Amino acid sequence: MANIQLYLKQTITYQVFIMIAKHLKEFMETFGNIAYQLWQVLKYLFSLQINIKQVMEQASRFAVDSLPITLSIVAMTAIILAMQVAPELVKQGGKDYIGLLVALTMVREIGVIMSGFAIISMIGSSQASELATMRVTDQIDAMKVLKVSPFKYLFLPRVLAGAIMMPFVVIISSTFGILAGGITSMISAKDVTWLCYISSVWQGLYIRDINIMLLKAACFGGCISLISSSCGYDAKGGAKGVGIATTKAVVWSFVAIVILDAIFAAAFYF
């Protein structure tokens, strides 16, 4: 019997099963921790125990510091889109729809998603590594000894700043992307004027699309800050644990905003 058990443990099927079970357990633990920490954040939020100074500091970091890289990524995406789409639409006699296509794509998807990716890479990873360093150096334990809630002091300002500032970042980056797409369209396609492009932008772009974009951006911003802070808060194992927590925060944030984007698309556009 012992030989059979030893043989089974050496099989690929058993090893794959153990790997899946390990990742599933890790997923459930992480998801549970994030849900609990969200509840704690909401508890302090609804009781209005908010430190405005800390929220402003995190808001400046979330929006101002990340704006250059966000504008660069969104603008380059819009330029690539316009560069490929504009000449083809002109060939098919659809030059009056170039601005409409670029604007809808930017407002509904690219502006929010690319801004989220940029903020995850820059701000989310920074938040995760900051809290992970505090965890492995026992600073968070010291806060608890002093009767200071980490959820009120560390989580709430970051989550609130992310939810508030992300819509502003998305508005600026999407506008910048639409303008960059227009300039690219005029350069890459014949007979496309600035007036023609701007006029077509408003043909199918409605206030409803902008409102959905802002709501989605607020959810993305809060989600990124919550997941990044959660992964950093649960770090363990010294310097190696800081790296693992930062990587985990980036991966989870990417997956979360893609899932949220699919939920928004199904809820409002399906």
Write the pLDDT tens digit of every residue in 239-265. Answer: 888 888 898 899 989 999 999 999 999
End-to-end CA distance of the chain: 56
Higher pLDDT, 216 or 145: 216
14 domain-assigned? no
What are 175-206's pLDDT values in tens digits?
Answer: 999 999 889 988 888 778 888 888 888 887 88
Q: Is 11 a residue whose pLDDT tops 90? A: no
Alpha-carbon torsion (228, 53, 220, 116), positive or negative? negative
Angle 125-57-134 from CA coordinates, rounded to 5°? 45
Q: Are the C-beta atoms of residues 204 and 104 closer than 8 Å to each other?
A: yes
| 153 to 9, 36, 158: CA distances (angstroms) | 47, 16, 9
The pLDDT, as a whole number, for residue 212 is 92
The residue-averaged pLDDT of 6-14 equals 64
Average pLDDT over residues 116-142: 88
Tell whether 247 is covered by a domain.
yes
How many angstroms separate the CA atoms of 148 and 127, rounded? 19
Residue 43 CA to residue 26 CA, distance in Å, equals: 26
Q: Which has the closest alpha carbon to 155: 220, 230, 241, 48?
A: 230
For residue 191, give the 3-state DSSP assignment.
Answer: coil
By CB neighbour count within 10 A (0-12 exposed, 13-18 middle, 19+ buried), where does 196 fall? middle
Nearest Cα residue to 246 out of 268, 269, 230, 262? 230
Within a domain: 3: no
In the predicted model, is pLDDT for residue 10 greater than 80?
no
Q: Which domain holds residue 74?
A: 47-268
Give the list of residues 6+ apart from residue 199 with CB closer than 8 angstroms, or none: 96, 99
In a domain, 36, yes or no: no
Across 1-23, average pLDDT: 66
Q: For the chain, what is the domain count?
A: 1
For the segment 93-103, the average pLDDT, to the nearest whole number, is 84
State the chain's mean pLDDT as an integer. 85
4, 37, 107, 179, 182 from 175: Cα distances, Å: 65, 34, 9, 6, 11
Residue 251 forms part of a structural domain: yes
On whether residue 72 sits in a domain, the answer given is yes
Q: Which of 19-28, 103-112, 200-209 has the highest mean pLDDT?
A: 103-112
Which burial class, exposed, middle or buried, applies to 82 when counting CB atoms under 10 A from its CB (0-12, 13-18, 19+)? buried
In a domain, 15, yes or no: no
Q: What is the pLDDT of residues 30-67, one digit of tens each?
A: 778 888 888 888 888 888 888 888 888 888 888 888 88
Rg, Å, the chain Cα set: 23
**Amino acid 8: pLDDT:** 59
CB neighbour burial string for 113-128, b if at least 16 within 10 angstroms, e if fewer: bbbbbbbbbbbbbbbb
Q: Is residue 174 part of a domain?
A: yes
DSSP code for 24: H
